Structure 1
Amino acid sequence: MTHSDLLTRLGPLLEAECAAEAAAAGGLDAADLEQSVWLRLLSDGRTTVSAARLRTTVRSEARAARRRARREVPYDPTAQPPPGAGPGVEQTVLAAEAGRELRAAVRRLPGRCPGLLAALLSGNDPTYREIAGKLGMSQGSLGPVRSRCLGCLRRMLMAEIAAP
């Protein structure tokens, strides 16, 4: 039996079964269910399909669709993450990009500024004493130099933002 014969012979029965199952399942779309049943029936390689097998396949596909619907959550770009949840993927990627841009801007600063600000931005949170020892500077001069470096960085970034 060819596929077109199957469609002609079982099409009305399949349509009725899918409509009934979709109505009983609530938000299930009958046309989607019908399509998944045809796909399942035609992909297993059998050339004959009985009415009983068709009904069983419809019910099986409807159960699978209901399970998927329970697990799937529609995407809402305006939704806030639940309390206690970490940042989403987009926020993580944007934060990483902002960090890369900031470090690139710090490397373009003149004099001792790149070394000092890179040490201050490092993830291991060094103390002023450790930074001063590493850079060969007095601990008392770190604050004023840091302030000048941050002012220079601020002016440089403001100029880049204002530029077309």
Structure 2
Amino acid sequence: MPDVAELVLRARRGEQAAWDEIVERFAPLVWAVCRRYNLSAADTDDVNATVWLRLVERLNTLREAAALPGWIATTTRNECLHLLRDKKKQISVEDIDGPDERPELDAWLLMQERHIALRVAFRELSERCRQLLNLLFAEETVRYATISAQIGVPVGSIGPSRMRCLDTLRGNPALAAFEEES
């Protein structure tokens, strides 16, 4: 599966398959953000179409290709708010349902957005970091000696390697939008 930066580069060259992959991969993120604002199905479709149009218009201006998930989430939020403001101008306030007030749903949706961004960032780690972190954070505890044998790293290097891998993961632009919210 290609990483986000590669997909963006291919989409900039006009490859339809890259565009299809971007939409398929990040459409659930657009839907989740729209759901936070309790939009109707028709309004969600409008926001969805607008977000992808904005991406087509602005793909070449994206500074950091790996930050695409954060850009999509932010653009979707902005389009939802724009749509709600326009609706407010058209009908009375009593007729508008505001954003869903159920905090547990908002928390769940935010968690889903973070999971998507984390999966994107994790895919962009080196193979060695992915292996190391998968072993260290597996359901069952794996001994350092076993990890050392499996990935060929001295036992004494596992801790420092883990820290470097986690620092790389934290520094990924796909997670930047969520660090600001925390």
Pairwise TM-score range, normalised by the shorter structure: 0.3 to 0.5
Structure ranking higher in helix proportion = 2
> Taking structure 1 as the reference length, what is the TM-score of the superposition?
0.36
Query: Highest relative contact order (Cα 8 Å, sep 6+), 1 or 2?
Result: 2
> Taking structure 2 as the reference length, what is the TM-score of the superposition?
0.33
